[in-house]
Amino acid sequence: MKRSTKKKLSAIDFFCGAGGMSYGLQLAKIKVIAGIDNNPECKDTYEKNINAEFILKDIRELSPKELQKITGIKKNDDNLIFVGCSPCQYWTQINTDKNKSFKSKNLLLDFQRFVAEFNPGYIIIENVPGILKRKNESGIEKFINFLKKKGFKVAKDIINTSRYGVPQKRKRFLLIASRLNKNIAIPKPEEGKIPCAIDFIGVQNGFTKLRAGQTDLNDRLHRAAHLSEKNIERLKKTKKNGGDRLSWKDDPTLQINAYKGKDHHFKDTYGRMFWKKPAPTITTKFISISNGRFGHPEENRGLSLREGACLQTFPRDFEFVGTSMTSIASQIGNAVPPEFAKRIGETINNK
């Protein structure tokens, strides 16, 4: 059975955050009806950039009837896509506080309530690989079986977004399901050259040089976090273009006690990015050099908010709103890269 061509595809973006998935789907000519998220700090960002309703609500407290009233969606709509990129902190392999994310670990099952009620034509799930590696605990296996029983064809894989136009070593679990198209598949990865940091940031891409703690007055999102004098000294001694903390491990004034004798433990911490390699995964902590290889390739500072957003493939004119640098960095790091989302949308649109 083929999807009806009389009506344009439309989507509801559950757990939409700042709107990376919504923005990418719009680039793929898919109408986004609404984004749903319980984080009020994402509301202004979403509404400034996405032509869609923002529903400030925890989906555990949202009823299908209420969603229908707000959005006007109907059951069994062949042209409707439900996107469920639920918060991934609990399932990530990155060292995070799992106690904080425990309540959100089974939001996939709450998302399933809406799929069961409305039976849309398509489903998109994007998350960390850990959701599949711990499939029994995460609920993804039950969710996939649920979809299959409802007649959905399910395509799933672990992919690296560097093969999908995103300059990051960002591995993700991707699921695309359709009850209409039995040939639904994961987008094909690109072969050959992969995008690198040098293609997106740096003076060659119009970025003004900054010092730690400085803001570009022409783009207030191009703002780097303050660093202590000691951390600035560490970066000065760190080799440009991919250097790491081993550059100063023998300097007793700079070496960190926790790393003494542990040269290969968390080696990327305090390191600089490489120009001609994909960036590391842009996390919610990317503005801090103590949380990964987030040092600028040659300037003595961490990444700016705008640089992180560009490495996530947000356009330069995308407006982020937040109460602090940390708030905006969280919005950026939690987002689905728009270029990746666009390719997912195009895959569905072309089927």
The percentage of the chain sitting over the pLDDT mark of 90, rounded to a whole number, equals 82
CATH assignment at residue 249: 3.90.120.10
Encode pLDDT of 74-118 as tens digits.
999 999 999 998 885 443 544 545 454 345 457 898 999 999 999
Judgement on whether residues 266 and 341 belong to the same structural domain of the protein: no
Q: At residue 7, does pLDDT exceed 60?
A: yes
Q: What is the pTM of this model?
A: 0.92
The reply to whether 330 falls in a domain is no
Identify whether the C-beta of residue 332 lies closer than 8 Å to the C-beta of residue 23. no
Q: What's residue 155's pLDDT?
A: 97
**Domain shared by 91 and 236, yes or no:** no
Query: Are 172 and 232 within one domain?
Result: no
Give 217's contacts (C-beta < 8 A, 6+ positions apart): none
Say whether both 102 and 169 belong to one domain.
Answer: yes
Q: Where are the beta strands (DSSP E) in 189-255?
A: 215-216, 219-223
Q: What pLDDT score was predicted for residue 1?
A: 45
71: enclosing H helix or E strand: helix 64-71
pLDDT digits (tens, 9 = 90+) for 268-277: 999 999 999 9
pLDDT tens per residue across span 139-153: 789 999 999 999 999
Q: Place 134 in a pLDDT band, splitting at 50, 70 and 90.
A: low
**Helix 107-118 and helix 64-71: axis angle, to 10°?**
60
- Claim to verify: residue 74 and residue 170 sit in the same structural domain: yes
Asked whether 20 and 49 are in contact (CB, 8 A), the reply is: no
Residues 141 and 216 in one domain: no
Q: Could you say which of 16, 42, 85, 88 is catalytic?
A: 88
Q: Is 43 helix (H, G, I), strand (E, B) or coil?
A: helix
Q: Classify residue 267 by burial, with Cβ atoms within 10 Å: 0-12, 13-18, 19+.
A: middle
Domains identified in the chain, total number: 2
Same domain for 207 and 170?
no
For the chain, give the mean pLDDT.
92
Q: Is 88 a catalytic residue?
A: yes
Residues 139 and 110 in one domain: yes
11-20, 88-97, 157-166, 315-324: the lowest-pLDDT one = 88-97
**Structural domain range at position 248:** 201-312
